[in-house]
Structure 1
Amino acid sequence: MPPLAILFLTLFNSILGLSILFPILGPLARELGLSEVQVGLFSTGYALMQFVFSPYWGRRSEGGRKPVLLLGILGFGLSFGLFGLFATLGERGLLKGSLLFLLLLLTRLLGGVLSSATLPTAQAYVADLTGRESRTGGMALLGAAFGLGVVFGPALGALLSRYGLLVPVYFSAGLAFLNALFVLRFLPESRARGEGPPPRLSPLDPRFFPLLALGFILSLSSVALEQTVAFYFQDRLGLSATETARKVGLALVFYGLAAVLVQGGLVRRLKVPPRTLFLLGLPVALLGYLGLLLGRGYLALTLGLVLQGAGQALATPGVTAALSLSAGEGEQGGVAGLNSSAQALGRMLGPLLGTGLYQLSPSLPYLASALLTLLGLLLALRLKEPGRSPG
């Protein structure tokens, strides 16, 4: 099996394990007596650790990709196993209140620290194996693995939860350890051990800063949408809680499939430069946000969601590939770490932006995301192809 195919399966398994938690975290938290704010801190803390540590792990991977990738996968499995253990003790009444919350939060922080090694190392691995002409397609393959994991993970989590809310958590931990064995056995090292310490890259480096800003904008705007879309469908369409879960769940399946088809099929076949992907994807995403703002029925809102997902799926691998092509051979891990950090910052701030604006008016998160996307498009228009200075 080719190394990129092995890496695809590795990342798919990792994202599948993470997204299994999505449908069970809310009901599990209520069963353990945790508040919505405390649950929100789990996600915020996880993203904060990824923001801080992704650049470090990216640099470390310059000394060898495989050990850092293994550490990220094993760290994910360890943190989920500990989360399940403490939650089990909470269910049995052996841990309660603030102590239970603190221990669960610590497991999420640990998971954020260690699992933040996975994505930048995977991106650097792709850079090792692809030339300039095929870099964008390689990065899109990682995006397709991510999208497939997000499509199937929540469905699997919902299925496993029939046997207990903690069954998906332990399943994810076990899947991570099996994934680590798979990597250890089958994934070849892509980079010889470097000589001397890897370079420490600055996010303000003019080669990278505009692209990092664009990646941050894409992440922030899409996460603001994802955090509020269920509320928005329910309020705009007047749905019950049960109808909301069913209809939003179906809409999100189409949303995820659009991203997978674009990144796994269209982007890899187009073989266009990264800047072209920005300039195609950002207007499509903008149309999606406008569709959500103006749509009145279920089909119109779902179409808006699908357009946003397709536009995001076009633009994101363009950003990743452009950053990679703007860096030197010994800087691939470092720039991948900066990219992961910028996206983690968007995931950290997106829920605050989306939910805060939604309380003022249900349409405001989508208006804000549309304006951010327009800002991103104006920024993209000023960018040259990777390797050239901005105009």
Structure 2
Amino acid sequence: MGQSVYAQVMPLIGRELGFSVRLITTFVSISAFVFLLTTPFWGRMSDRKGRKSVLMIGFAGYIISSLLFVLVAYLGLVGVLLTSSLILSFLLARVLNSAVGAASRPAAGAYIADITTEEERSAGMGQYGAANNLGTIFAPIMVSFVAFLIANTEIFPSYLTPYGRLIPVVLMSFLSLLALLMVYLYLPETLEAGIEERKRERMSYDYKLLVFVGIGVLIFICFSSTMTVAAFYIQDKFNFSTLVTQERQGIAFGLLGIFSILVQLTYVQKTKIVPINFISISIPFFILGIIFIVISATFTFFVLGMSFLGIAMGLASPGYTATASLNAGSSNQGEAVGVAMVAPGLGFAIGPLMSGFLYEISPNLPYLICIPIFVVVFLLVLYIKRYI
């Protein structure tokens, strides 16, 4: 849920602070680049120190950095922080979130690998993806509900109304604290004591792995590109106010998550195929979703396009993660998932930066550029599947 909340809150807060589309997407790219650099480290750390401790570090980092983000945004909205000091403080909060919050992703993925057999790996990663997508459902619902309450009720004091965009981040910090406590109290460790001294297999970093990670990078470049500009696209194309945009964006993101989780809990769970084939199957849905978004004359068509993107990610994400896990030894699952997470890290570093520049040329360009990219992905999958 955490990053989904940021995806909806940051663009609108950024506009209220006077940031350009290009600057906001640059923030996203820089924080994603930090995520890219730190995720493999946390993956290796979870192989040595255990999944549970690294998960807890990730949650703690998210809580601290989110509260810092709220403080910086509040000081910017009330005029205490201006121009360069505001930009640098905003960037610091996002970098901290990525650097330490990144710990939870490889640790969680490796935990799933620890408790599943090779035959169960695709289904296990599908369930893991479904859990992530539950967050993409509930986060938009929470953000939209808060926006609705601010606009239509007096449940929040009037002096909080100008800062209502920040309330979902505060709520998410509280939920992360509850998750941290649950991990500490109830989650058993899956690695035996003495893992630091255990002889670990070395992963093979050959050109096939580079091609495979490249496939993931291209997928996440397009996904991050379309998601990052979604709020701007909705507001500009349909002439919605800020609060209405926040509500409608929540609906669109929520449906994306619903369709993604439905695919992962049904088709991915029941279909016994080589995991990388899920990526091939996802490509037509990606392209169809982009087409519906670009031709959308009404918000309904936009939502339909987002739903197709949800189906596509519901197929591609577990297919990608399961393939990476199955091509690693049992003693370096954390490293394998950490390497796999390079793709979303690099994708979210390049995609938002690219989409910010393209959006200022034409709002449709961040979407249209993805059609030829997905054709390339399909061809690369056909090539690499012979070796996996």
Name 1:210's counterpart in structure 2: 211
Task: Confirm or deny that 1:147 pairs with 2:133.
Answer: yes
Task: Confirm or deny that 1:168 pairs with 2:168.
Answer: yes
* Matched AA of 1:288: G
Name 1:48's counterpart in structure 2: 33
Q: Report the 3-state secondary structure (helix = DSSP H, G, I; strand = E; otherwise coil) of the residue aligned with 1:208.
A: helix
Assess, with a 3 A threshold, how the Cα gap between structure 1 residues 34 and 299 changes in structure 2: closer, same or farther: closer
Name 1:73's counterpart in structure 2: 59
Name 2:273's counterpart in structure 1: 272
Name 1:240's counterpart in structure 2: 239
Assess, with a 3 A threshold, how the Cα gap between structure 1 residues 376 and 24 changes in structure 2: closer, same or farther: closer
- TM-score (normalizing by structure 1): 0.84
Q: 2:47 aligns with which of 62, 77, 93?
A: 62
* Matched AA of 1:151: I
Which structure would you say has the larger RCO, counting Cα contacts within 8 Å and 6 or more residues apart?
2
Query: Once superposed, which parts of structure 1, at least 4 consecutive aligned residues long, lie more than 6 Å away?
Result: none
The answer to whether the Cα contact below 8 Å between 1:53 and 1:341 also exists between their aligned partners in 2 is: no
Name 1:21's counterpart in structure 2: 6
Name 2:304's counterpart in structure 1: 303
**Worse overlay, 165-174 or 347-356:** 165-174
What do residues 177-236 of structure 1 show as CA deviations (whole Å, max 9, x unaligned)?
22111100011101124225866757x52352222111111111112222334555566x
Q: Report the 3-state secondary structure (helix = DSSP H, G, I; strand = E; otherwise coil) of the residue aligned with 2:129.
A: helix
Task: Confirm or deny that 1:111 pairs with 2:110.
Answer: no
Assess, with a 3 A threshold, how the Cα gap between structure 1 residues 207 and 132 changes in structure 2: closer, same or farther: farther
* CA drift at 1:33: 5.5
What do residues 72-122 of structure 1 show as CA deviations (whole Å, max 9, x unaligned)?
111111111222334444455554442233223212111111011111111
Name 1:120's counterpart in structure 2: 106
- TM-score (normalizing by structure 2): 0.85
Name 2:185's counterpart in structure 1: 185
Q: Report the 3-state secondary structure (helix = DSSP H, G, I; strand = E; otherwise coil) of the residue aligned with 2:117.
A: coil
Assess, with a 3 A threshold, how the Cα gap between structure 1 residues 105 and 356 changes in structure 2: closer, same or farther: closer
**CA distance in 1 between partners of 2:167 and 2:364 (Å):** 37
* Matched AA of 1:240: N
Gaps of 5+ in 2: 151-155
**CA distance in 2 between partners of 1:57 and 1:189 (Å):** 16
* CA drift at 1:330: 1.8
* CA drift at 1:295: 5.5
* CA drift at 1:59: 0.7
* Matched AA of 1:85: L
**Worse overlay, 149-158 or 65-74:** 149-158
Q: Report the 3-state secondary structure (helix = DSSP H, G, I; strand = E; otherwise coil) of the residue aligned with 2:37.
A: helix
* CA drift at 1:310: 0.6
**CA distance in 1 between partners of 2:356 and 2:370 (Å):** 13
Alignment length (residue pairs): 369
**CA distance in 2 between partners of 1:93 and 1:358 (Å):** 28
Matches within 5 A, 1:301-340: 301-340=302-341
Q: Report the 3-state secondary structure (helix = DSSP H, G, I; strand = E; otherwise coil) of the residue aligned with 1:44.
A: helix
The answer to whether the Cα contact below 8 Å between 2:114 and 2:190 also exists between their aligned partners in 1 is: yes
What do residues 353-390 of structure 1 show as CA deviations (whole Å, max 9, x unaligned)?
223233334443333211111111111112337xxx36
Name 1:289's counterpart in structure 2: 290
What do residues 309-359 of structure 1 show as CA deviations (whole Å, max 9, x unaligned)?
212211221011001001111221111111112211111111122232333
Name 1:10's counterpart in structure 2: none
Assess, with a 3 A threshold, how the Cα gap between structure 1 residues 251 and 132 changes in structure 2: closer, same or farther: same
Gaps of 5+ in 1: 1-15
Assess, with a 3 A threshold, how the Cα gap between structure 1 residues 110 and 361 changes in structure 2: closer, same or farther: closer
What do residues 273-330 of structure 1 show as CA deviations (whole Å, max 9, x unaligned)?
2033122222322233344445555544433332222122112210110010011112
**CA distance in 2 between partners of 1:158 and 1:303 (Å):** 18
| Superposition RMSD in Å | 2.7
Q: Percent identity?
A: 33
The answer to whether the Cα contact below 8 Å between 2:283 and 2:312 also exists between their aligned partners in 1 is: yes
**CA distance in 2 between partners of 1:89 and 1:361 (Å):** 33
Assess, with a 3 A threshold, how the Cα gap between structure 1 residues 299 and 189 changes in structure 2: closer, same or farther: same
